[in-house]
Chains A and B, each alone.
Chain A
Amino acid sequence: MLVRYRGAEGMLAWAFHRISGVAIWLFVILHVIDIFLVGYAPGTYDSLLFIYATPPGIVMEWLLGAAVLYHALNGLRIIIIDFWPRLTRYHRQLWYINWLLFALVGIPVTWVIFGQFARSMGWWAR
Chain B
Amino acid sequence: MTARYGRSGRVKPQGDRFETAVWYLMRLSGLGLFVLVLTHYLILHVIHDPAEQHASWIAEFRWSSTFWRVFDWLMLMLVLFHAFMGVRVVLGDVSGGRAPALLRYGLYLLALVLFLIGTQVVLTLPNVVPSA
> A-side binding surface: helix, strand, loop or mixed?
helix
Q: Are A22 and B87 in contact (CB under 8 A)?
A: yes
Taken together as a complex, chains A and B put the C-alpha atoms of A41 and B34 apart, in Å, by 31
Q: Are A32 and B76 in contact (CB under 8 A)?
A: yes
Q: Are B38 and A42 in contact (CB under 8 A)?
A: no
Q: Are B80 and A28 in contact (CB under 8 A)?
A: yes
Q: Which residues of B contact A78 (CB under 8 A)?
A: 27
Known A-B contacts A21-B86, A22-B90, A69-B38; A39 and B130 likewise in contact (beta carbons under 8 Å): yes
Known A-B contacts A38-B58, A46-B55, A85-B10; A65 and B41 likewise in contact (beta carbons under 8 Å): yes
Taken together as a complex, chains A and B put the C-alpha atoms of A35 and B57 apart, in Å, by 12
Q: Are B10 and A72 in contact (CB under 8 A)?
A: no
Please list the residues of chain A having a beta carbon within 8 angstroms of any beta carbon in chain B: 18, 21-22, 24-25, 28-29, 32-33, 35-36, 38-43, 45-46, 49-50, 52-53, 61, 65, 68-69, 72, 75-76, 78-79, 81-82, 85-86, 88, 109, 112-113, 116, 120
Question: What would 28 A/B residue contacts be, using CB atoms closer than 8 Å?
Answer: A18-B90, A22-B87, A25-B87, A35-B118, A35-B122, A36-B120, A38-B130, A39-B120, A39-B125, A42-B55, A42-B131, A43-B132, A46-B131, A49-B53, A49-B54, A50-B51, A68-B37, A72-B37, A76-B34, A79-B31, A81-B8, A82-B10, A82-B27, A85-B8, A88-B8, A112-B46, A113-B46, A116-B49
